[in-house]
Each structure stands twice: as structure tokens, then as C-alpha cells.
Structure 1
Amino acid sequence: PKHEPYVTVLGLGEGRITTKDGGVELLAIIGGFVQVRPDRVLVLAESADLAADLDLTTIEKAKAEAEQALAQVDHANPGAVATARAAMARALLHLNVAERRRRRG
């Protein structure tokens, strides 16, 4: 409420949605834009995954694959390094969001 209007770029991070009944849903947000207005906030995300939809087994597998990719990446290829690092960042984000939801109950 009563925010100064602005637009900015989103990276990787956690988000929260407050539902009409007052509940809070956690999200893993990957890229996009956020527009802040005096009366609301609009998020246009490239990817947004609800914590409730995240599966720890799948996330752990993605993390292991990202670790292997980082260990084997050709460091002379900046694009390959960036891709491997991005995969690890996504896996860690999903893991953190899923764990936070699990701890909250």
C-alpha cells in the first residue's frame, strides 16, 4: 500500500502471495519483471513455481545433475559455464523454497 510506482527486473528468488483468505503461498521465481503501483504489485515472471508443487526428490536429482555439469564443464566455454551455473542456481532456489515450506508446515 502507498508504494512509489516503479518497474524493475527480477532475477532468481523467493516470492510470497497473500491469498484472499489471508493465507501465504511461497513461490520460486525465475526471471521477469515486477511493477509496483501505489495500490498493488504485479509480477510478470518467466517462471514461477508454487512451493506446494515442488518435489524434493526431483529437486535433489536436478541438483546432483547440476553439480556433475559444473564439475565437467569446459571452463574455456563461457556459455557452458553460465548454463551450468544457472542450472545449479535454479536447483538451489527450488530446494530452499521447498525446505522453507516444509519447515513452516
Structure 2
Amino acid sequence: MSTFLLEIVTPEHVVFSEQVESLTVRGLEGELGILPGHIPFVTPLQVAPIVVKAGGKTKNIAVHGGFVEVQGDKAIVLAESAELPEEIDVERAIAARERAERRLSATKQDVIDRRRAELALQRATTRINVSSRSKE
């Protein structure tokens, strides 16, 4: 089966670098499936899990914003942060989700505080989903 190189990079380090068969990401316009030979493009990413298929196995990776660039036989995800399932502290993510939900239910808050709480909720939910999918 044909493959391409996928690199997931954060400002701190390279999270993932392997040959893969396919990649599914959630861009601003919706989900995008990337296979070998895909046309070149760059698009911003939402806070959402990405799905990687390699060696007949599927892996979910938590990605918290950034961009994906596809060029030739390579795809690069430049993420604000990214976590493999085994790196996720589920208890911490559940506590973060609960804090964000409490902040969102508060009656008085400005637009910036509300947006921060929404993003914190998205990040926590993404972490929980990626961790739970890796245990299936």
C-alpha cells in the first residue's frame, strides 16, 4: 500500500513522524481525508482529534489548533500542542472539562472569558475522546 510521511510538530518538539496510509483532520470547513498523492494545500485546524492509519492500525492524536500543510509525499501538522493517547492525563482532562463547564455556566462573564472557557472545554473533550478511543 502507498504511504506518505506525516509529521506532527509543536513549538516544543516533534510529536509524531512516520509513514502513514491516510490522515483525517478537522479543518475550519469540516473533515478532510488525506491519502498519498493528495493535491498540495494548507488549511487551519480546529481543536479536534486527528485520525492516522498506518500499518493497518488506526491511531487518534489530540491536536489543539494549528495548520496542516500537504506537499508532495509529505503532510505536516503544525500544532499549538498535540498529545498521543498514552501522554494524556485523563483525570486532569476531566477536571479541566468540569472547570470549563462551570465557567461557561456563570451568568456574568465577558466575551474573552467565555471564549477561553469554550476553548478549554474543547481541549479537555478532545483529550478525553482520544484517550478513550485508544483503549477500545
TM-score by length of 2: 0.66
Q: How far did residue 90 of structure 1 move?
A: 1.0
Give the aligned partner of residue 91 of structure 2: 57
| Pairing partner for 2:61 from 4, 10, 27 | 27
| Pairing partner for 1:82 from 115, 119, 123 | 115
Contact 1:59 1:94 in 2 (8 A): yes
* Cα distance in 2, alignment partners of residues 45 and 32 from structure 1: 4
Q: How far did residue 68 of structure 1 move?
A: 1.2
* Cα distance in 1, alignment partners of residues 126 and 103 from structure 2: 17
Identity of aligned residues (%): 33
Structure that is richer in helix per residue:
1
**Which ranges of 4 or more aligned residues in structure 1 deviate by more than 2 Å?**
16-19, 22-26
Contact 1:74 1:80 in 2 (8 A): no
Contact 1:73 1:84 in 2 (8 A): no
* Cα distance in 1, alignment partners of residues 66 and 126 from structure 2: 15
What RMSD over aligned residues (CA atoms) do the two structures have, in Å? 1.7
Question: Which residues in structure 2 correspond to 1:1-105 (within 5 Å)?
Answer: 1-17=36-52, 22=55, 24-72=58-106, 74-75=108-109, 77-103=110-136
Aligned amino acid, residue 37 of structure 2: K
Flag structure 1 segments of 5+ consecutive residues without an equivalent. none
Flag structure 2 segments of 5+ consecutive residues without an equivalent. 1-35
Q: How many residues align?
A: 100
Q: How far did residue 73 of structure 1 move?
A: 5.3
* Cα distance in 2, alignment partners of residues 72 and 80 from structure 1: 10
Structure that is richer in strand per residue:
2
